[in-house]
Structure formats: C-alpha cells, structure tokens
Amino acid sequence: MTCERATELIDQYGGETSVPPLVRIRLAFHLAHCRTCAEEAVRMERVYRFLRTDYISEAPDLRSAIMDKINIPGEAENPVGEPVSLRNWVLVGMIVFFSLLLSSVGLEFSAPGILLRSNLLLPITLTLGFGVTIYGGVFIASHMDDFSERFGLGPREL
C-alpha cells in the first residue's frame, strides 16, 4: 500500500469505530513500517477524540424549567393515541351513512338488480346495517371514557 492510499484510508475511516477487517489489517501493516503515516493516523485520532469531547460549549441547566413544563397538567400529555374528536367522529359517521345510502340509488348499483331481475333490498339493507354497526362499535369502543364521563357512568365512589 502506498502512503497516498494509506492517507486516503485514514481520512475515510479516521474517527470510525467500525472499519472493515481487511482495511484494518492492510492499514495496520502499512502503519507498522511507515512512521510518517503512523504519526498522522495517531494525530488524527486524537483530533477526532478532542472534537467529540471538548468542543461542545456549556449550556445553561434547563432541567428544572423543562421538568416544570412537563409537570404542568395538560402541557405534556401524550398526543399519541388520542381519540379522534367527537365532532369528527359524527362527521365521518354521517359521511359513511349517506355514502352507503346514496350508493343504493345509483344507476350502477341498481343495474345488476335489473339484469338479474331480483330485488336488491336485502343486500342493500345488510350492507348498510353492517357498515353502520361496525362504525358504531368502533365509535363507542374508542369513546368509552368520554361517554362514561358525559353520562356519569363511571364507577361509584365508595
């Protein structure tokens, strides 16, 4: 390996913890008999270590300020998994219901009925019922706490 190639590898892998084994062996072999490159490698490793340990400036201690904010009720509640708001649920429900209802009066929907000479009232009713039941089930399940609080259904205090 030439010194030029060794320097290139020092630049490429300097400061790295994961160096491919073959590269490590080849570089170690070169550094073992080339004092200039070995000094360069050591120097750069020291520089990288210095940059990572001694460069970031001091920061004010913000622990108390941050913990105070976190402890304010409502300030740092976890938004993940929050239920969809009641208003949005009702809105989505209305859209789903009317979509299902209106789809039954569409020409494309009634065409198979005419073609098959059969009344599609039963499948339409089943589809509507299925959609509304699923929606209602999910709606109630996801708003149990809301409903309990709203209608006073929570556990009684003894």
Residues that bind other proteins (CB under 8 A): 7, 10-12, 14-16, 39-40, 42-44, 46-48, 50-52, 54-63, 65-67, 69-71, 75-81
Q: Which is nearer to other proteins, 70 or 122 (CB)?
A: 70
Q: Which is nearer to other proteins, 74 or 152 (CB)?
A: 74
DSSP per residue, 16-78: -S---HHHHHHHHHHHHH-HHHHHHHHHHHHHHHHHHHH-SPP----HHHHHHHHHSTTTS--
Q: Which is nearer to other proteins, 73 or 152 (CB)?
A: 73
- Minimum CB–partner distance for residue 67 and other proteins (Å): 6
Are the C-beta atoms of residues 35 and 66 closer than 8 Å to each other? no
Q: Which is nearer to other proteins, 37 or 124 (CB)?
A: 37
- Minimum CB–partner distance for residue 57 and other proteins (Å): 6
Rg (CA), the chain: 35
Question: If we measure between CA atoms, which residue out of 156, 87, 150, 96 comes closest to residue 127?
Answer: 96
